[in-house]
Amino acid sequence: MTSSHTPPARRRRIGVAAAAIGMLAALLTAQPAAATPDPDDIPSPVEGSSAERAEVEKAIRSGEIPASGEIDTSSNVRHLANVPKGALRGVNSDLAFQGDYAFMGNYDGFVIYDIKRPDKPRVVSEVLCPGAQNDISVAGNLLILSVDSSRSDDTCNSTSQPATEKSSWEGVRVFDISDKTSPRYVAAVETACGSHTHTLVPGKKDLYVYVSSYFPHETFPDCQPPHDGISIVKVPRHAPEKSKLVRFAGLFPDGGFPGNPERPEKTPTSGCHDITAYPALKLAAGACMGDGILLDISKPERPKVVERVRDEENFAFWHSATFSNNGRKVVFTDELGGGGGATCNARVGDEKGANAIYHVERKGKKLKLSFQSYYKIPRHQADTENCVAHNGSLIPVKGRDIMVQSWYQGGVSFWDFTDSKRPHEIGYFERGPENTERLTFGGTWSAYYYNGHVYSSDQNGLDVLDIRDRRTDSAKRVRMGEFNAQTQPHIR
């Protein structure tokens, strides 16, 4: 059922008084989860108090929040389709696109969908190849997967194995997808601390893969501290079997943000979580745990940090980044609680677990990042719903800055940051809580705009959305042959 009679700003007052079990205190006094890096680390259900359960049930009855399984949208958003999970039952993760195909990572492998008819997508193939997160990108006939969980070897038949064992493997996998019905595994490259996420930076003959990983430990033979940068893998386009590690690029010679003993939720920097490259500008923006950075990538094998910022007050975990189309703004996200916490409520507020908008300003020959404002969805979620800022992309509208973005069980938010000081939501899609009695992991991991529609990797399957709004309608005329959100194209 779809409900659109209530404006977003008036919905979701749930969570104002529900502080019975101190969920926020627990969230802010423990080290955050590592952005759900491994299935074993996904939070177990936490029993809520009877008062919290009663509040959720009351909110559902009153219409403040949708019931479990119910869909709610703003009046300008339509839910066109859902393709439930098939053989791969793990966590759905990131998305990539090429032609009439969408590619979805899953902790158990990846899925290829035919999206020629967005209202009737169909599964083309499912590849079983376990290894969290299986963050995914495509380039021509190649598909790249990130593996950030220790495996017994680099094959798709590997089993989980402790990182303390020297023989354990984690890193980057490369597939040939020239036949979408039967992808072929062609190469594997081991990288220090694995590959939590990755970013493609195209060269003339090769693809450079910037590998983001973190959380080193003295007991991990292949993930020793200090881990102050990124691994760079070179993938020859016409000989991917020769893929190799070319160097480890140090980005934080001073060690990066050291953390704050009085604020344990603020994660020290020991690598990067995600990097978004903008090849047309020869720049990249990095979200690196405790630091936000700008990189000069004019020499892909030797990226150079040209600006670095911190948010000592509000950001706990710098998670991802998105440029405006003109490159004059960067939206950084804060994944407070690692994706497993209930942070979209009045207790946490609207400046934590949010987006931060920065202007990219030129001071002589130097680039500077200047903070402007925060954006967080205005729809408070139940304390049984994990919710925080997560993966999104620009909607390619000329003259405006509009994003679509996932918020786990907070759903999909369409928001306008053309006025950097006054960002606001213009549409939304969400489901009711996965569970009304206890905190349970679920919701949408990534939501990206591609060739006229929005595709969302929800834990309920692939969702397809359509926004009909005068502010975004012109984007429907923009067509791309390929799209990886972490390799941002310039839209003319």
Q: Model's pTM, two decimal places? A: 0.92
Q: Which of 64-68, 147-151, 274-278, 354-358 has the lowest mean pLDDT?
A: 64-68
* Model confidence at 28: pLDDT above 50: no
Q: State the CATH number of the domain containing residue 238.
A: 2.130.10.10
In a domain, 459, yes or no: yes
Give 490's contacts (C-beta < 8 A, 6+ positions apart): 278, 280, 281, 325
In a domain, 47, yes or no: yes
pLDDT of residue 58: 74
In a domain, 490, yes or no: no
pLDDT of residue 144: 98
In a domain, 259, yes or no: yes
**Region 13-25: what's the mean pLDDT?**
38
pLDDT of residue 268: 96
* Model confidence at 21: pLDDT above 60: no
Please state, for a pLDDT cut of 90, what percent of the chain lies above it: 84
pLDDT of residue 36: 52
CA-angle at 208, arms to 207 and 209, nearest 5°: 115
CA-angle at 317, arms to 314 and 318, nearest 5°: 95
Domain count, the chain: 1
Yes or no: say if 324 and 401 are a contact pair by the CB < 8 Å rule.
Answer: yes
Residue 18: pLDDT band (50, 70, 90) is: very low
Q: What is the pLDDT of residues 45-101, one digit of tens each?
A: 445 567 667 777 777 777 778 888 899 999 999 999 999 999 999 999 999 999 999
**Region 90-116: what's the mean pLDDT?**
98
pLDDT of residue 12: 47
Q: What is the pLDDT of residues 396-427, one digit of tens each?
A: 999 999 999 999 999 999 999 999 999 999 99
pLDDT of residue 185: 98
**Region 122-132: what's the mean pLDDT?**
97
In a domain, 489, yes or no: no
What's the rounded Cα separation, in Å, for the pair 273 and 320?
Answer: 7
pLDDT of residue 2: 39
Strand 171-176 to 101-106 pairing: unpaired
Please state, for a pLDDT cut of 70, what percent of the chain lies above it: 89
pLDDT of residue 60: 75
Residue 436: give the domain boundaries.
8-483
* Model confidence at 7: pLDDT above 90: no
Q: Pick the residue with more confidence: 338 or 40?
A: 338
Which of 382, 384, 409 lies closest to 47 in space, CA to CA?
384
In a domain, 492, yes or no: no
In a domain, 253, yes or no: yes
Q: What is the pLDDT of residues 360-397, one digit of tens each?
A: 999 888 999 999 999 999 999 999 999 999 999 999 99
> Residue 262 is encoded by which pair of tokens?
């009085």
Residue 202: pLDDT band (50, 70, 90) is: very high
Q: What is the pLDDT of residues 241-252, one digit of tens each?
A: 999 999 999 999
Bridge partners for 369 per DSSP:
360
Q: Which of 34-43, 253-262, 386-395 has the lowest mean pLDDT?
A: 34-43
pLDDT of residue 465: 98
What's the rounded Cα separation, in Å, for the pair 71 and 457?
Answer: 15
Residue 224: pLDDT band (50, 70, 90) is: very high
* Model confidence at 215: pLDDT above 80: yes
Instruction: Supply the mean pLDDT for the chain.
Output: 91
In a domain, 491, yes or no: no
Yes or no: say if 145 and 197 are a contact pair by the CB < 8 Å rule.
Answer: no
Kindly report the backbone phi and psi dihedral angles of residue 469, in degrees, each rounded to the nearest multiple of 5, phi listed first: -155, 135
Residue 52 corresponds to which amino acid?
E
